[in-house]
C-alpha cells in the first residue's frame, strides 16, 4: 500500500517518463502503468492512489511491483526460459536500484 506521507506521489505520465523504455531517451507509455494497475502483470498489480481526478503511483510502489514480479518468477522458468518482457522488467528494477530508488 502506498504511504502517502512518506512516498513521493507521481502521476502515471511522470512515473512513466522516469522508467527506461526501449529507446535510448524514451520511457514507457503512461498507459502501461494504467494496465499494470488495472489488469496486473503475471497476477501482480501496481499500487495506486486516487488524488482528485488523477490516478497516481510512486517510485517505491513501482519498486515493490518489480520486486514482486521477480519473486513470483524466481521459482519458475530458468534464465533461458524467460521471455523478453521479463528481461525488460528486470532491467527496470536494476536501474531503479542503481539510482537508489
CA dihedral 45, 21, 17, 62 (to 10 degrees): 30
- What is the pTM assigned to this prediction? 0.69
Predicted confidence pLDDT, tens digits, the chain (101 residues): 899 999 999 999 999 998 988 777 677 899 999 999 999 999 999 999 999 999 999 999 999 999 999 998 886 544 444 445 656 666 777 777 777 76
pLDDT of residue 32: 94
Q: For residues 26 and 47, give the distance between their C-alpha atoms in angstroms, rounded to a whole number.
A: 23
The answer to whether 33 touches 46, Cβ cutoff 8 Å, is: yes
Amino acid at each position: 500500500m502506498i504511504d502517502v506521507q512518506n512516498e513521493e506521489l507521481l502521476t502515471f505520465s511522470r512515473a512513466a517518463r522516469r522508467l527506461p523504455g526501449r529507446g535510448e531517451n524514451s520511457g514507457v507509455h503512461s498507459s502501461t502503468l494504467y494496465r499494470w494497475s488495472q489488469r496486473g502483470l503475471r497476477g501482480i498489480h501496481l499500487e495506486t492512489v486516487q488524488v482528485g481526478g488523477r490516478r497516481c503511483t510512486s517510485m517505491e510502489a513501482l519498486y515493490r511491483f518489480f520486486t514482486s514480479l521477480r519473486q513470483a518468477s524466481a521459482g519458475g522458468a530458468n534464465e533461458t526460459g524467460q521471455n523478453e518482457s521479463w528481461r525488460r522488467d528486470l532491467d527496470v528494477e536494476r536501474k531503479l536500484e542503481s539510482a537508489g530508488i
